[in-house]
Amino acid sequence: MDKSVGIVSAQCAWFDTPLTFRSGAVLPRYELVYETYGTLNAQGSNAILICHALSGNHHVAGYYAGDEKNLGWWDNMVGPGKPINTDKFFVVGLNNLGGCHGSTGPASIDPLTGQPYGASFPVITVQDWVESQARLADLLGIKKFAAVIGGSLGGMQALQWSLAYPERVAHVLAIASAPRLTAQNIAFNDVARNAILTDPDFHGGNYYQHGVVPTRGLRLARMLGHITYLSDDVMADKFGRALRTDQLNYGYEVEFQIESYLRYQGDKFAARFDANTYLLMTKALDYFDPAHDFGGDMNKAFSRAQADFLVISFTTDWRFSPQRSREIVQPLLHNRRNVSYAEIDSAHGHDSFLMDEPQYMDVMRAYLDNVAKECAR
């Protein structure tokens, strides 16, 4: 057990049926890039959908031939004998629409103009993503998912599955997530977006044609994001006030190790991620609110849900604190859903959902082993 799924390859699905977004915008056609691991059983009952968070993509597990170091972002969780056990489940990961890793997004060519979509790519919501994911499920012959699983923004997609397609998902696993953003969450997103929007290289979102990239803005957005992914404690333990050199330099170059770390993370991200996708992802976070159409009443919003739920939070996560997860649990209990809730003691803040926290892995494994037994029935 605990082997990797090994060599994987991405696939591409084309959709020619127009997709109407929640905003009213219409995408006439689009492609979704995805990977699958494991085998769909004869009944088609053992499929799991993995929804990614802000900067994730379809490469969830394994590696590509000749590039063994480029492991999927959740390789510790997904594989043979792992909590999301590919010996038992048929696992699907996709790059969300609007992304920058192969699925149609702002950097893709708009067939109507022959130019990249850029600013004209419509603002997308969690609802729109689930719609596109349902079409992918149709294409793969999956009538009902055994589970839809996601962390953070991925958890919101998993929740939305239970609302948009209650009959098509048996279990929803929402990890380090929230039913909707708080004002503080939105505020952080708005600062990140403004860093990108006001970067002179942004050119109103059409920077592709100018041969530049709003690196400065994207770098700042990521630096800020990183602060909110880590706990105060883990930053103190890992960096504290440690200096980069053995003396104070009294200048604006890196003085403290934490600055070095943040700038490195910012630079690395800005070199690989698309700024327009970053904007779309943060907007999807802001807009997600199942209660919006129910006068703010989350109990009413979740009355449609039929799935069973596992909700997991982490003690030091201050981006989506345990309180936010309890705000998911409460309306589910109100609607007499089966809900398991685990608050995991972890030092790693929001990032915990990507870590090998033993208690967390155990909870995932135990829950999904039971789901696997259901599928085999």
Q: Which stretch binds its own copies (CB under 8 A): 142-150, 231-239, 297-305, 308-316?
A: 231-239
Q: Tokens 């394994």 belong to which residue?
A: 62
Does 224 bind its own copies (CB under 8 A)? Our answer is: yes
Q: Tokens standing for 50?
A: 């993995």
In whole angstroms, what is the distance from residue 289 CA to residue 302 CA?
11
Which range in 47-55, 217-225, 303-311, 365-373 contacts its own copies by CB under 8 A? Answer: 217-225
Report angle CA 34, 273, 204 to the nearest 5 degrees: 115
For its own copies, the closer CB: 2 or 252: 252
Distance between CA atoms of residues 14 and 274, nearest Å: 22
Verify binding: residue 347, its own copies, rule CB under 8 A.
Answer: no
- We find the least distance from the C-beta atom of residue 297 to its own copies, in angstroms, to be 13
> Which residues, 167 to 206, sit near its own copies by CB under 8 A?
180-184, 186-188, 190-191, 193-195, 197-200
| Parallel, antiparallel or unpaired: strands 115-116 and 339-344 | unpaired
DSSP string spanning 282-320? HHHHHH--TTGGGTT-HHHHGGG--SEEEEEEETT--SS
Residue 305, Cβ neighbours under 10 Å: how many? Answer: 21
Asked if 352 and 176 count as a contact pair (C-beta separation under 8 A), the reply is yes
Q: Does 365 bind its own copies (CB under 8 A)?
A: no
The footprint of its own copies on residues 104-163 (CB under 8 A) is 122-123
**121, HSE (Cβ side, Cα atoms, 13 Å):** 31
Residue 224, both tokens: 């800020």
The 286-325 contact track toward its own copies, x by CB under 8 A, reads: xx-x------------------------------------
Residue 244 is a binding residue for its own copies (CB under 8 A): no
Residue 223 in the binding site for its own copies (CB under 8 A) = yes
Paired strand residues for 93? 35, 50
Which CB atom, from 75 or from 286, has the smaller least distance to its own copies?
A: 286
Active site residues: 152, 317, 350
Interstrand relation of 339-344 and 308-314 (parallel, antiparallel or unpaired): parallel
Closest CB to its own copies among residues 195, 363 = 195
Binding site for its own copies (CB under 8 A): 21-25, 122-123, 180-184, 186-188, 190-191, 193-195, 197-200, 216, 219-220, 223-224, 226-227, 230, 232, 235-236, 238-241, 248, 250-252, 255-256, 258-259, 262-263, 266, 279, 283, 286-287, 289
